[in-house]
Structure 1
Amino acid sequence: MADALPDTPSCAAYDPTLNPGSYGYRPSLAWGLVFTILFVLIAAGQLFHMIRTRAFWTFFFIMGALFEIIGWVGRLASYWCPYSRDCFLMQTASLITGPGWAQAGIYLTLWVVIRSVGRHVSPFPPKTYLAICFCIDLVCLSLQAVGGGLAGAAYSNGTSTQPGTTTMVVGIIAQLTAAVLFSILVGFVIYRGGSALRSNRPLFYMTAATVFATMMMIMRNVYRSIELTEGWRGYLITHEKYVLALDALPMVLAMGIYVIFNPGAQFEKTATAEQQQELAERDQPQKNAVQRYLNL
């Protein structure tokens, strides 16, 4: 249990034989730098696309990346101060909260796809599904925030962290359930709108990115659910390779794919293609008239 750890000066030299620290290991400096830089690049890329395309709804991805940056900065600081409870709680709260913002961005991306392809591809009206998803996401974030606050207070006071941990686990499992249900909706949209998506490359890319990102979010949520169920001194949480491979990497991929196939940029291409098609259809009668005149 985290509350059973001895008090050690925050920036004392790391000695796992005397005190394994809040993590159970000393966070890697190299990996901390790598993931901090990656999330900074993702945030910068999303900000660039948002300003250029004026698709301001993509700010959810920026917020998700910012929380990831804060979390990984906390882990970086923990390399030099391995016994700092503030740094540990900072990274815990941020890395649990950030994915909720990214998930909201994924919901909105599918909403844009449905609006572009047509209402018929969704079993629910787009606004209804979006409202339901946002409500679920808000509840999940609230549970995780409250749980993190309770666990953090208990951790600092040296009391049991179990009530807060349980609340966090409920929030993460609820988020996992929402991601699975959302993936079913994505499959429904692909099934009904397959031909339209195949004929519209930007929409196809947006949908493919959404499928990939959703898979990464499900992987991450499964890991976090199991990790916290084991407790703060469980095997997964005390071995850094798992948080790197099953939390950090999936989040980089889930948000990074939207920098490459940015929803705002892809939607801009779709709108441009539709305008060109509309102009071509409008000019076709005139072209036909000219052709008939030339054939006289």
Structure 2
Amino acid sequence: MSFENWVAYTYTPSMGAAVLFIILFAIITLLHTFHLFRTRTWFFIPLMIGGYFELVGYIGRAMSSKESPNWTIGPYVMQSTLLLVAPALFAASIYMELGRIILMVKGEHFSLVRVTWMTKIFVAGDVLSFLMQASGAGIMVSGSESSMSTGQNVIIGGLIVQIVFFGFFLVSAVVLQRRVAVHPYAAAVASEYPWNKHMWALHSSSILVLIRSVVRVVEYAQGTYGYLMSHEAFIYVFDGLLMFALMAIFIAIHPSEVNYHLGRGRAITAMGGLKVKDAAMV
């Protein structure tokens, strides 16, 4: 396959859907940016960057819609790559929050993985997944039939790595929550903190990423002319909508509260104000 007969989409991308998701991700990402700098919840920088990836990715889809049917490779690569790898950035922040929740409730002895290693292991898997997906996306647009197939296989491998690590992460989070809840002393300590709502935020966001990644594996396994890749609705329902919901969850249950209880600065209150643990630290 050469770029002379290259076809980006098997449908005409919807301008209306792209604009809607540009607006949605612009609003939610700007909110995360505002709260991140306001509360100094620095471990959520990857999630914020992932939001900008989503935003620019849907801008690429809008550009592709405007070009239809004479697509150029730039907007296609912009949307295909950024929308593909953004959840890996979300995952990095999610992994780091669990380690902080464990420290907050003093639950180190109840974790399947030592807290000192937890973030390193999960983030390392996340980086591997990110690199595999990004390189696979690059291989796919190199201009030959074999590179298209190779790129899809590399992307599938990266998505499977993401599923495996996220699956283990979800199991670790559930086991931790269960062990702390049934241990009298640990439960008493944990009850002093609003930790359960943050754990449920992690559970629900992890499930959203897992659903999205499984659908993506099926999509790339079917190939360019498969049912999922040939119908635009799937990218919005099983990717855009799920990832927007993930970002909305962390606006409703903002991780700054965990940092606050660790003595690391500010937290958003229910009334939208700020709680300050130590004025010298902010």
TM-score of the aligned structures, taking structure 1 as reference length: 0.81
| Larger Rg belongs to | 1
- Give the equivalent residue in structure 1 for 2:34: 48
For 1:167, the aligned partner's letter is V
Gaps of 5+ in 1: 9-20, 274-296
For 2:180, the aligned partner's letter is G
- Give the equivalent residue in structure 2 for 1:30: 16
Secondary structure class of the residue paired with 1:132? helix
After TM superposition, the structure 1 = structure 2 runs for residues 204-243 of structure 1, keeping only pairs within 5 Å, are 204-243=196-235
Secondary structure class of the residue paired with 1:31? helix
8 Å contact kept, 1:203–1:267: no
CA displacement at 1:160 relative to structure 2: 4.3
After TM superposition, the structure 1 = structure 2 runs for residues 13-162 of structure 1, keeping only pairs within 5 Å, are 21-82=7-68, 83-118=71-106, 119-154=108-143, 160-162=147-149
For 1:257, the aligned partner's letter is I
Distance in 1 (CA, whole Å) between partners of 2:10 and 2:189 is 48
Distance in 2 (CA, whole Å) between partners of 1:216 and 1:150 is 27
8 Å contact kept, 1:25–1:238: yes
| Residues 86/97 of structure 1: CA separation in 2 closer, same or farther (3 Å cut) | same
Identical columns (%)? 26
After TM superposition, the structure 1 = structure 2 runs for residues 158-173 of structure 1, keeping only pairs within 5 Å, are 160-173=147-160
Higher helix share: 1
Aligned residue pairs: how many?
A: 258
Distance in 2 (CA, whole Å) between partners of 1:201 and 1:39 is 31
| Residues 123/158 of structure 1: CA separation in 2 closer, same or farther (3 Å cut) | closer
Distance in 2 (CA, whole Å) between partners of 1:33 and 1:180 is 33
For 2:219, the aligned partner's letter is E
CA displacement at 1:85 relative to structure 2: 2.3
For 2:86, the aligned partner's letter is G
Output one character per residue of 1:85-138: Cα deviation in whole Å (capped at 9) or x when no partner.
Answer: 221121111011111000001101111111111212312221201111111111
| Residues 196/182 of structure 1: CA separation in 2 closer, same or farther (3 Å cut) | farther
Gaps of 5+ in 2: 182-186, 268-282
8 Å contact kept, 1:202–1:269: no
CA displacement at 1:199 relative to structure 2: 2.4
- Give the equivalent residue in structure 2 for 1:186: 173
8 Å contact kept, 1:216–1:254: yes
Cα RMSD, aligned residues only = 2.3
CA displacement at 1:67 relative to structure 2: 0.9
- Give the equivalent residue in structure 1 for 2:276: none
CA displacement at 1:222 relative to structure 2: 0.4
Distance in 2 (CA, whole Å) between partners of 1:254 and 1:260 is 10
8 Å contact kept, 2:50–2:87: yes
CA displacement at 1:4 relative to structure 2: 7.9
Distance in 2 (CA, whole Å) between partners of 1:208 and 1:200 is 17
- Give the equivalent residue in structure 2 for 1:254: 246
Q: Which moved more, 1:184-193 or 1:21-30?
A: 21-30
Secondary structure class of the residue paired with 1:22? coil
8 Å contact kept, 2:50–2:89: yes
For 1:68, the aligned partner's letter is E
8 Å contact kept, 1:200–1:270: no
Distance in 2 (CA, whole Å) between partners of 1:200 and 1:252 is 31
8 Å contact kept, 2:101–2:258: no
CA displacement at 1:269 relative to structure 2: 5.9
